[in-house]
Amino acid sequence: MRLPSWLKRRRFTTVLGFTGLCLVTLALTKAAETRNWLPAEPPSTPKGAAIAKPACPAPANPDPLLGARTREPGRWVGRRPVRADLPIVVMAGHADSQGMASAGTPGFMVDKQGQPPMQQGIRDELYWNLQVQKAIVQQGLNRGLNISAYNPPSFTIRNDADPDTNWSRAKLWSARGDYILEIHFDAYRPHGFGSGLIPAINRPLNVVDESLAQAFGRFPRNFRGGLGGPRRGIGILEIAMLEPPLEQKLRNPKTRSNTVNCLAERVVDALVKGVS
Ligand SMILES: [Zn+2]
């Protein structure tokens, strides 16, 4: 049977097309084979793309990020449920007591290695408390927490009862049901105890206290006979002792922001778990 000329043309085009496709495939396969013999190219980062942030060390005990947990552990359990939109206020420990007896730890590198403080006029503990506080609030907002920061107007407020101190604000806001978390670094060894939560004393302990304690460790509820902060509703979170290797990772400009963010991520993970 004779095919109409248009159909013959079409068949011819189809055959040509198929042959062409095979040749292209073959060429590509050949190219891939050839490339296997070349050294691997470094992965290209598209211009303007954010550099992927290095992963944070996974929690463990002993912990690669935080070091040792408190050597004096408590036995309390936080069971009271909380609202999903629990208002969380994050404070920086010693933010109103610079130049006073309770200024916080200078850290191992300043005290024992003679390094200059991170910022003149304030203890290194406060410097890092402030960095971590800021990162916690940023990450917490991104993850949908009802979270905010409080910072007193001056680094030195001599009267504890001044309405602008961490203590006065905590007392007020804790009474209305806010969760008050104050960020601290503990002293270096042998003075420091290690990481952990010293929970509030003025209210029943809740699932957010429990979640933070599981992530960081727990101090006895009446640690040192009951500290001023916890009596006013402050949960004191000792992130870690301010000593190497963590302190070096914080001080090294190349690893600083990642380290601060990883510390904040541990806190925010625990807060998110606590309220959900
Ligand atoms: Zn402190």
Tell me the pLDDT tens digit for each residue of 63-92.
Answer: 999 999 999 999 999 999 999 999 999 999
Question: How many angstroms separate the alpha carbon of residue 92 from the centre of ligand 1?
Answer: 9
Tell me the pLDDT tens digit for each residue of 171-184.
Answer: 999 999 999 999 99
CA 204 to chain centre: 26
**Rounded-to-10 torsion of CA 173, 175, 178, 183:** 70
Q: How many CB atoms lie within 10 A of CB 231?
A: 14
| The pLDDT value given to residue 50 | 55
Position 49 confidence tier, pLDDT thresholds 50, 70, 90 = low
More confident residue, 21 or 51: 51
| The pLDDT value given to residue 33 | 41
Question: How many angstroms separate the alpha carbon of residue 165 from the centre of ligand 1?
Answer: 15
Question: How many angstroms separate the alpha carbon of residue 43 from the centre of ligand 1?
Answer: 43
Decide if pLDDT at 26 tops 70: no
Domains by residue range for the chain, with CATH = 88-275 (3.40.630.40)
| The pLDDT value given to residue 104 | 98
User: How far is residue 187's CA from residue 243's CA, in Å, rounded to a whole number?
Assistant: 8
Question: How many angstroms separate the alpha carbon of residue 69 from the centre of ligand 1?
Answer: 15
15-19, 152-156, 218-222, 270-274: least confidently modelled range: 15-19
Position 27 confidence tier, pLDDT thresholds 50, 70, 90 = very low
User: How far is residue 253's CA from residue 126's CA, in Å, rounded to a whole number?
Assistant: 18
| The pLDDT value given to residue 47 | 52
Decide if pLDDT at 3 tops 90: no
36-40, 106-110, 219-223, 256-260: least confidently modelled range: 36-40
Question: How many angstroms separate the alpha carbon of residue 63 from the centre of ligand 1?
Answer: 20
| The pLDDT value given to residue 39 | 45
Decide if pLDDT at 270 tops 50: yes
| The pLDDT value given to residue 189 | 97
Question: How many angstroms separate the alpha carbon of residue 84 from the centre of ligand 1?
Answer: 29
